[in-house]
Amino acid sequence: MCPPILRRLFRRLAPLAAGLLALLVAQPAPAVAAPAAAGLVQVTGFGSNPGNLQMFAYTPDNVAAGAPLVVALHGCTQSANAYYSSSGWPKYADLWGFDVVFPQTTSANNALSCFGWFDQAESTRGRGEAASVVQMVEYAKQTYGSDGRRVYVTGLSAGGGMTADLLAAYPDVFAGGSVASGLPAQCATSQAAASGCQTGPQKLSPAQWGDKVRASYPGWTGPWPRVAIWQGTSDYTVYPANATALRDQWTDVWGIGQTPSSTQSLPGSTTRSVYTDAAGRPAVETFSVAGMGHGLPVSPGSGTEQCGAAAAYFLNTICSAYHTGLFWGLDQDGPGGEQGLPAPAGLKVTEVTGSGASLAWNAVGGAASYAVYRDGAKVATTASTSFADTGLAPGATYRWTVAAVSSSGTVGATSSPVTATTPGGTAPARCFTASNYAHVTAGRAHTSGGHAYANGSGQDMGLYNVFVTHTLRESPAGHFVIADSGCQA
């Protein structure tokens, strides 16, 4: 019986060029192991694998050749299966149509199953784990027909540190990256120096941080990857200073300043800061999650902007996969990228009612039409520079972006988003039951004098430990009260 991944391979080979087909037929088929979880399949024989990694892949059945590829790197003590189950990336692979590769390291490489972001034998071009990850990308391009112009890498903690190293060493492979609770590229070059980076990276200038990237692939002058940076303000494992260093590093590489072009408040007490390139497109974005500890931001639920599952180091705040995917343009119909039209400027909400909102933006030269996206899903194509979105729910918050479409149908860069809340209705409260330690880690409470206190109300929850448990009710966002006697969401 033919394994599922090979059935997908045969189906996807149909639209590929004959030369590539001949190349694939001439090579022996890679071995495919049994699924590690529903939809997640291990692939062996993807290359010489100098970093001794394992490759897992999630390839939705309805994804055609020429789709983007996302590489997702787990954190220490985690696995590919954990990242597949909790990060939220499979949801958007299904929704927007792309494949995901989940590399996995083991205790054979590192006692805590950490990727070797601090080891130049593992994190530099052509060597170790970094080279193994790139071999997985090449396998995906050949087997799944992934678009080599739209390959992205993301990771948490040690996986975030390796993400930054991969972006620096392979800017010719990765169009963008997302570093969650991670480290600047080449922050440490030995395991002994790793802990120093985590608690407080070197006090370098943006140019010095940028030099570490430029030295990772000498002679490369661009284009550079577009980088998202996620960080909790209460992270005491990888301190927030690393997010600042990452911002300095990648804005310097892009040749732009460290002052954001715009800022925006997002759910989960998150502040998004955008740093645009010379063409006005977002090149670097930072997402600062107030009160969040060490972990990947997720937001369990069925809404378009919700994803993932809360677990150890997967913290219920905001769906980082969704906002990262928008930043990379994964929600768009085509590659866009460098070949597409520039992003429309001046997008604004001109009117809001209980059931609709009106938008307007500046014209883009060469645009035949404009694609309008609400919460990441396209809702209209219009030849006008304005649009009235109707059928909205009262008392709900929506997010819109717009992209110019050329006469050939190529979708260009996405605009900076705008948000609006329709009047009427009441946002439902949310309830959380967990230990005081977990509440603090998730950003729902804070500590003082050995006790935990609910954020917003300041109520004393008792000793800060894993033994005292409370139910907290959140309403409005960011304001928590003790609701042990009953909590109606």
Q: How far is CA 379 from the centre of its chain?
A: 23
CA distance to 275, 388, 475, per residue, from 258 (Å): 8, 36, 35
Task: Give yes or no for a contact between 116 and 328, defined as CB atoms under 8 angstroms apart.
Answer: no
* Residues making up the chain, counted from first to last: 489
- Angle formed by the axes of helices 128-143 and 18-26, nearest 10°: 120
Task: Give yes or no for a contact between 304 and 377, defined as CB atoms under 8 angstroms apart.
Answer: yes
Residues 54 and 323: their CA atoms lie apart, in Å, by 28
DSSP classification of residue 242: H
Residues whose CB falls within 8 Å of the CB of residue 457, separated by 6 or more in sequence, listed in order: 479, 480, 481, 482
Catalytic site includes residue 205: no
Residues 19 and 2: their CA atoms lie apart, in Å, by 24
For 232, the 3-state DSSP assignment is: strand
Instruction: Please state, as a whole number, how many other Cβ atoms lie within 10 Å of the Cβ of residue 169.
Output: 25
Amino acid identity for residue 3 in this structure: P
Instruction: Please state, as a whole number, how many other Cβ atoms lie within 10 Å of the Cβ of residue 5.
Output: 18
Task: Give yes or no for a contact between 68 and 150, defined as CB atoms under 8 angstroms apart.
Answer: yes
DSSP letter string, 33-96: ---SBTTBEEE--SS--TT--EEEEE--TTPPTT--EEEEE--TT--HHHHHHHSSHHHHIIII
Selecting among 85, 157, 181, 288, the annotated active-site residue is 157
The side-by-side arrangement of strands in the sheet containing 445-448 is 445-448, 451-454, 460-463
CA distance to 55, 126, 133, 161, 241, per residue, from 49 (Å): 10, 11, 8, 20, 34
Closest CA to 248 of 208, 218, 279, 220: 208
DSSP classification of residue 339: G
Closest CA to 227 of 261, 168, 179: 179
CA distance to 38, 255, 262, per residue, from 87 (Å): 15, 32, 27
Residues marked as catalytic: 157
